[in-house]
Structure 1
Amino acid sequence: MFVCTAKKGVWNKMSSSKSNSFKNKAEELILDESFIRWVKFGLPEDNRKWENALVQQPDLKNVFAEARLWILEMGFESAVPENSEEIAFYQRLRASIDNTQAINVRRMIPQWLRIAATLTGAIVSLLAAYWALNYYSFKHITTGNGEIVRILLPDSSEVILNANTKVKYERKWNENEPRELWIEGEGFFNIRHINKDQTHIKNSERFIVHTSDLNIQVLGTSFNVNTRRNKTKVVLSAGKIQLSLKDNSKAPIVMVPGDAITYSQQQKAIVKNKSVLNPSVSSAWKEHRLIFVQSNIKEIAEQIEDNLGYTVKINAPSLNNRTISGSVATSNEDVLFKVLADLLNVDIKKDPQNKIILIQEKK
């Protein structure tokens, strides 16, 4: 039970010193929806009504003042009422105030807005359910700095993920749909060949790798995909694949082993060339190695940043022209940086706390 403790003294005073007629009139006002609105909100329509009432019945001035004081000073707290008359009064008063506030709120909000709010809530709930269903129907894998992960896909194809790479694919592939995987970063693919008839390729026999720019369609092959630094680079080791831009602005390109294709997001251009290197060079990272062939210091810095997560700072412009060729293991950072320092004839300082590598002239 709730009672108005802030006005209990007023009620007792009214009970003892006011006539029943005064009390009844005050109670009627306190329970009047229009009077409550006038006291609490001062709406123009209510102002006119009750100001006119005072002009016509000036003897009600004290009753108005008493009822107004009750409404303004009410404070509901848990307490035990003192008598049955007080209980009945507070029950009527509480029910009236709660109902009045609910009516006022509903009247202040247009019906179309209430309907819109209800529909919006329903739409948000449906979108959240759709997002959750869509998200959890996919398997998401992310690798960290220096981490190389091998994963087995639902069809037993293998993907090796380089450091700082994200992939997603459906947990269960539909028998009538292409096998699909989305990648950000770098990965090497060994796709299981399930096609039996090259002249009649079923939809489910296709395997499609999606990057932000390209769709790479394969049947059964081995290739490397790198989507770093606003470029997508594909190097084919074995088999045959077809590349197409997502916006279909250019004709699809068919790749054969040894081909290397790069698409630049900035230039919106595809560059195709025959790899002068063994295609395995581009995927040496999966064996925890980096192979450099006349690579300049900027290219080396990019490899360190992409694979190990460091920010590389080169403090001498004269170093930009230095190049190296060779193979370097990446499994041990300290050994890696020592070998690079010797090959480049520079000093390399590592700040592991802030993930910064400083390359400077050898002192």
Structure 2
Amino acid sequence: MAHEIAAPRRTDRPSTRRTAKPLHVAAAVAAALLAAASLVAGVGGGLVRIGAIGVQGAGPAGPAAAAWHGAVMVCGLFGTLIALERAVALRHGRWVPLAAGAGALAAWLGAPPPAPLAAWVVAGVGLVALYVHAGHTRAWSFHLAVELAGAATWLAGTLAWTVGARDAALVGWCGFLMLTIAGERRELTQMLRLPRWASVAFVGIVALVPLAFALAAAGAAVGAAWAWWGACAGLALWLLRFDIAPRQWRAGGWAGHTAWCLIAGYAWLLVAAAAGLVQQRVDGAALHLLLLGFVFAMVFGHAPIILPALTGLRPRYSRWARLPLLLMAASLVARLLAETGGETGLRAAAGWGHAAAIAWFAATMLHATWRARGAAR
């Protein structure tokens, strides 16, 4: 059931049961370690920026990690993981996630800005090429085109950052995550009979993302904000209405866990869109609601499905896996109250809550996978 909710059968993904070459395994392990390092540095840099801890030398909580916090999380962590999943599925292009992870490592270790940006440009080009390869060797589809557009926005956002177009970079990087998730979820709804207007609406929602990027690149900040947060609101409403997850919330095991995570993520996406439309800018509290509330809810929900594809082991269900979702929600509410009232202490506590939710979920999944490994033995 969880497979049906979060990772449908794809014609462009070969079986992961074939024996991988040692070099491919080593590359995948290295990319996973780089993603883990990006997560640590991203969380550490975020805690510094939010005032929860002081600058800690030149490591994951150093000044470079704080300065590159958002880029390390999006390009380093999520760029590496998404590229790794794509490369493993296609058994091709293992260097793409390595480039994304290496860029993050260079960033938080304090390398000159051209180094990480160059690595992310290479990774963005590589991910675009992987999607094109999937289309040519497997089959082209609408959802694959949406994911390809997501990879292209990652590349465009990185190029925008190199020329100092910060708003365009934020739209491009966040658009990468949103379009990738939208493409994956749209793939699922192929099993459902949707009204024609729903399909047309989805195309319109997706089209708002490149429009927002173009407006941001042209310096029309308010117009970009309306287009971007309009796309987020539209996607949230569309998924709440047509996605399979809201229909599976009563399921047990990982299926129910995934459903609850996705429902919560869609709700946070809608809240983020409302906050962003009020602020009329692509930044601030609304952006953190998007990344921490929506994107991490997707991570919490999809991890039990993605791990078997990457490791060959299906984690055993644990009821404790839902606790991080509640902890993240509580910390985001505290973050909103702190942003509204300007309370520094509550803001720092919210930051620790974000970190605790992520750490708890990582520990839960490691334990669940270890239990599965022991059972397999």
Q: Shared topology, TM-score over 0.5?
A: no
Q: TM-score range by the shorter chain?
A: under 0.3
For the pair shown, the structure with the greater C-alpha radius of gyration is 1
Higher normalized helix content (fraction of residues): 2
TM-score (norm 2): 0.25
Greater RCO between the two (CA within 8 Å, min separation 6)? 2
Higher normalized strand content (fraction of residues): 1
TM-score (norm 1): 0.25
